Amino acid sequence: MDTGSNEPKSRYRQYLEVVTGPLEDKKRWRQYKARIRNLPENYRMAVEALERYLMHFGPGDGADAASMYEDLADLFEQSAADGTPIREIFGEDPVEFVEAFVQNYSVGRYINRERNRLTSAIARAAGEDTGKEVRTV
Protein backbone atom coordinates (compact mmCIF):
# COMPACT_ATOMS: atom_id res chain seq x y z
CA MET A 1 0.00 0.00 0.00
CA ASP A 2 1.20 3.54 -0.77
CA THR A 3 2.16 5.14 2.50
CA GLY A 4 2.41 8.76 1.38
CA SER A 5 4.47 10.92 -0.92
CA ASN A 6 8.22 11.46 -0.64
CA GLU A 7 8.05 15.15 -1.47
CA PRO A 8 9.95 17.38 0.92
CA LYS A 9 7.67 18.96 3.49
CA SER A 10 7.18 22.71 3.69
CA ARG A 11 8.53 24.54 6.70
CA TYR A 12 5.03 25.20 7.90
CA ARG A 13 4.11 21.56 7.54
CA GLN A 14 7.23 20.52 9.45
CA TYR A 15 6.34 22.88 12.26
CA LEU A 16 2.73 21.75 12.27
CA GLU A 17 3.72 18.11 12.51
CA VAL A 18 5.86 18.75 15.56
CA VAL A 19 2.58 19.68 17.21
CA THR A 20 0.19 17.21 15.57
CA GLY A 21 2.36 14.23 14.59
CA PRO A 22 2.82 13.33 10.93
CA LEU A 23 -0.28 14.00 8.84
CA GLU A 24 0.34 10.85 6.75
CA ASP A 25 -0.16 8.74 9.85
CA LYS A 26 -3.42 10.51 10.58
CA LYS A 27 -4.57 9.94 7.02
CA ARG A 28 -3.68 6.26 7.25
CA TRP A 29 -5.59 6.02 10.54
CA ARG A 30 -8.68 7.59 8.95
CA GLN A 31 -8.41 5.17 6.02
CA TYR A 32 -8.16 2.25 8.41
CA LYS A 33 -11.24 3.46 10.30
CA ALA A 34 -13.16 3.73 7.03
CA ARG A 35 -12.21 0.16 6.09
CA ILE A 36 -13.37 -1.12 9.47
CA ARG A 37 -16.71 0.68 9.15
CA ASN A 38 -17.36 -1.27 5.93
CA LEU A 39 -16.87 -4.67 7.54
CA PRO A 40 -19.85 -6.88 8.41
CA GLU A 41 -21.12 -6.23 11.95
CA ASN A 42 -19.47 -9.18 13.76
CA TYR A 43 -16.06 -8.67 12.12
CA ARG A 44 -16.24 -4.98 13.00
CA MET A 45 -17.04 -5.84 16.61
CA ALA A 46 -14.01 -8.13 16.73
CA VAL A 47 -11.65 -5.51 15.27
CA GLU A 48 -12.93 -2.82 17.61
CA ALA A 49 -12.33 -5.11 20.58
CA LEU A 50 -8.76 -5.69 19.35
CA GLU A 51 -8.28 -1.98 18.81
CA ARG A 52 -9.33 -1.28 22.40
CA TYR A 53 -6.83 -3.86 23.64
CA LEU A 54 -4.01 -2.54 21.45
CA MET A 55 -4.54 1.02 22.73
CA HIS A 56 -3.26 -0.12 26.13
CA PHE A 57 0.22 -0.55 24.64
CA GLY A 58 0.43 3.20 24.09
CA PRO A 59 0.77 5.17 20.87
CA GLY A 60 4.02 3.59 19.63
CA ASP A 61 5.79 4.82 16.54
CA GLY A 62 3.25 6.52 14.27
CA ALA A 63 4.08 4.91 10.92
CA ASP A 64 4.62 1.50 12.48
CA ALA A 65 1.34 1.69 14.40
CA ALA A 66 -0.41 2.65 11.16
CA SER A 67 1.05 -0.48 9.50
CA MET A 68 -0.22 -2.55 12.40
CA TYR A 69 -3.79 -1.35 11.98
CA GLU A 70 -3.58 -1.77 8.20
CA ASP A 71 -2.44 -5.38 8.66
CA LEU A 72 -5.38 -5.88 10.97
CA ALA A 73 -7.78 -4.44 8.39
CA ASP A 74 -6.26 -6.73 5.71
CA LEU A 75 -6.82 -9.79 7.88
CA PHE A 76 -10.44 -8.97 8.64
CA GLU A 77 -11.34 -7.89 5.13
CA GLN A 78 -9.92 -11.16 3.82
CA SER A 79 -11.71 -13.16 6.48
CA ALA A 80 -15.00 -11.39 5.80
CA ALA A 81 -14.59 -11.97 2.05
CA ASP A 82 -13.85 -15.67 2.62
CA GLY A 83 -16.55 -16.02 5.26
CA THR A 84 -13.99 -17.31 7.78
CA PRO A 85 -15.84 -17.68 11.11
CA ILE A 86 -14.67 -15.32 13.88
CA ARG A 87 -13.69 -18.27 16.07
CA GLU A 88 -11.43 -19.65 13.35
CA ILE A 89 -9.57 -16.34 13.16
CA PHE A 90 -9.02 -16.15 16.92
CA GLY A 91 -8.91 -19.77 18.00
CA GLU A 92 -9.74 -20.69 21.59
CA ASP A 93 -7.74 -17.88 23.13
CA PRO A 94 -7.97 -14.41 21.57
CA VAL A 95 -5.20 -13.12 23.88
CA GLU A 96 -2.74 -15.58 22.39
CA PHE A 97 -3.43 -14.31 18.91
CA VAL A 98 -3.22 -10.62 19.79
CA GLU A 99 0.01 -11.09 21.77
CA ALA A 100 1.66 -12.88 18.83
CA PHE A 101 0.38 -10.19 16.49
CA VAL A 102 1.48 -7.16 18.51
CA GLN A 103 5.03 -8.48 18.89
CA ASN A 104 5.58 -7.63 15.24
CA TYR A 105 5.24 -3.89 15.84
CA SER A 106 6.94 -1.24 17.93
CA VAL A 107 3.99 -0.92 20.33
CA GLY A 108 4.38 -4.62 21.19
CA ARG A 109 8.13 -4.39 21.47
CA TYR A 110 7.78 -1.79 24.22
CA ILE A 111 7.33 -4.67 26.63
CA ASN A 112 10.58 -6.26 25.36
CA ARG A 113 12.39 -3.06 26.23
CA GLU A 114 11.08 -3.34 29.76
CA ARG A 115 12.08 -7.02 29.88
CA ASN A 116 15.63 -6.15 28.82
CA ARG A 117 15.72 -3.46 31.46
CA LEU A 118 14.64 -6.00 34.08
CA THR A 119 17.22 -8.54 32.86
CA SER A 120 20.10 -6.09 33.13
CA ALA A 121 18.90 -4.74 36.47
CA ILE A 122 18.85 -8.29 37.88
CA ALA A 123 22.32 -8.95 36.44
CA ARG A 124 23.59 -5.84 38.23
CA ALA A 125 21.82 -6.77 41.45
CA ALA A 126 23.33 -10.26 41.23
CA GLY A 127 26.74 -8.62 41.04
CA GLU A 128 27.44 -10.01 37.58
CA ASP A 129 29.68 -7.95 35.38
CA THR A 130 28.06 -8.65 32.03
CA GLY A 131 30.80 -6.58 30.38
CA LYS A 132 28.27 -4.80 28.26
CA GLU A 133 25.21 -2.77 28.86
CA VAL A 134 22.11 -4.53 27.56
CA ARG A 135 20.59 -2.08 25.16
CA THR A 136 17.24 -0.95 26.39
CA VAL A 137 16.09 1.12 23.44
Site for another protein in 15-74 (CB under 8 A): 71, 73-74
Binding string, 103-122, against another protein, x = CB under 8 A?
Answer: xx------------------
Q: Which is nearer to another protein, 31 or 120 (CB)?
A: 31
In terms of CB distance, is 95 or 125 closer to another protein?
A: 95
Q: Are 67 and 108 in contact (CB under 8 A)?
A: no
Q: Does residue number 84 form part of the binding site for another protein (CB under 8 A)? A: yes
Smallest gap, in angstroms, from Cβ of residue 42 to another protein? 15
